[in-house]
Copies of this chain bind each other. A is one copy, B any other.
Amino acid sequence: MTETLDTRSWRGVHVELLRRIQTKEWLPGAPIPNEADLAIEFGCARTTVNRAMRELAEAGLIDRKRRAGTRVALNPVSRVVLDIPIIRLEVEQRNASWRYTLLERAVCPAPVAISSRLGLDRETAMLHLSGLHFADNKPFLHEDRWINLSAVPGVERVDFSAISANEWLLQNARFTHGDITFSAEVAGESRAGLLSADPAAAIFVVDRITWDQGQAITSVRLSYAPGYDLHSKI
């Protein structure tokens, strides 16, 4: 029932070019015809071919250079797109009920490892929050967060036992970019206690720092309960 797409639409051109690459009709590294020629072949405008090829280039399947032309990419990097939602939604998408508990709230200087990564002075007072997210009343992940007080006005007056920092910040603080790191760690005694897990268990950890222009907003470490996995399509 796959409606054969007209090769005069950019989607049609896109799938046809994709086919030629995937079937190795056009070999990796080989040059492919220029936009104008393809437009003639498909009986469409150059703009349409351009749109199709732009998508392929974004996906990393072809390399394009002005004047030099377009080639099939030599090392086809698979590009994985992960959507990182609000934790509440992540839990609810698993058909589980979500609950959040604030464990600790303090205004104090952050560990040097944190403050230096954020480019802040080591004595700068920051807001430290520690909390647990539950899925169906079982610990789902531990959120350990430091917030730059001067970058998020009003954050000191928020009641983080009523709303998770994760959610409040995403809705109220603006950010332009961030760094994210995924790793595996042994739980250890303290985390094991929080997550009701074996201290020897392997924990999936996500570290994230977000920025607004050059200014650090927050650094957060999410420690998922054992058994968690993150998956996606390629």
User: Measuring CB to CB, which residues of chain A are less than 8 angstroms from any residue of chain B?
Assistant: 22-24, 28, 60, 75-86, 89, 170-171, 174-186, 200-205, 208, 210, 212, 224, 226, 228-234
Contact = CB atoms under 8 A, between A and B. Distances in A.
A156 B124 CA distance: 62
Given A75-B170, A171-B28, A203-B202, A181 B86 contact: no
A178 B81 contact: no
A182 B231 contact: yes
A139 B85 CA distance: 34
A174 B24 contact: yes
Contacts of A210: 234
Contacts of A82: 79-82
Contact of A85 (B23, B75, B89): B75
A184 B202 contact: yes
**Copies of this chain assembled into the complex:** 2
A81 B84 contact: no
B85 A174 contact: no
A177 B234 contact: yes
Given A28-B171, A75-B89, A81-B79, A231 B176 contact: no
Contacts of A77: 83-85
A194 to B, nearest CB: 16
Contact of A233 (B179, B182, B186, B233): B179
Contacts of A75: 85-86, 89, 170-171
Nearest to A28: B171
Contacts of A22: 174-176, 212
Given A89-B75, A201-B186, A202-B202, A180 B234 contact: yes
Nearest to A186: B202
A226 B231 CA distance: 21
B203 A200 contact: no
Contacts of A201: 186
Contacts of A60: 83
Nearest to A23: B174
Among A186, A201, A230, chain B packs the most CB atoms within 10 A around the CB of A186
A175 B85 CA distance: 28
